Amino acid sequence: MMGIVSKFTIYILIFTSAFLLISCGKKYSPEYDRYIKSIEKERAEKDSIFGQTSDSPFAGDSNAKFHRLVYYDVNPGFVFKSRLTEYRNKDTVKVFGTKGEERKAVKYGYLKFNYSGAYYKLNMYKGFSKNGDEYFSIWFTDNTTGEETYGVGRYLDFELNADPEYEYTIDFNKAYNPYCAYSARYSCAIPTKEDYINMAITAGEKRFH
């Protein structure tokens, strides 16, 4: 785990200072403004895909009515850096889908982040597609789950890097709902009790319904 006082921490402090300045009628810093615009662009592109293409979870489901996805405001205070710690014993665990089916996933490792002086752990799992390809997933619940955010939980994309010293970016502004949040045709993995984060992650996607 990286030290708390780092260049990234200073970068976040600059972002936070810029946020406070805007409340006094001043403009965002260029760095903060670029970051906000990049996240907003990603969100607009996702709306376009979900609303217009056959790859959308709404496509072919007459009961699933599309409207723009709902998000928290972009908050750079929910962006963190962490190295991945692999579990020594990578146990295969049961993970249930929202339709009740049992799945298998390998509890591969975890990332840690510090928020308001407390450390939190985020598990990362390895799964396998129907054709045998492996993929990596992060899913979680927190104190917004079932209230402001989807009741099953939210996901973060994860791509494994071969470098064991690689620092991953944990950006909760990119936390998203699985497809089962939009259409009953889909089943998605339910985060386990160990995937609960005891804090309110007020970043990323909110409830759709």
Taking only the tens place, the pLDDT of each residue in 30-75 is: 888 899 999 999 999 999 999 999 989 999 899 999 999 999 999 9
CB 205 within 8 A of CB 70: yes
**Of the listed ranges 17-26, 94-103, 164-173, 192-201, the one predicted with least confidence:** 17-26
- The closest of 139, 151, 132, 143 to 107, measured between CA atoms, is 139
pTM for the model: 0.84
**Alpha-carbon span 124 to 87, nearest angstrom:** 10
Which H/E stretch holds residue 121?
Answer: strand 118-128
Strand partners, 205: 71
pLDDT in tens, 68-121: 999 999 999 999 999 999 999 999 999 999 999 999 999 999 999 999 999 999
Spell out the domain ranges in the chain. 7-195
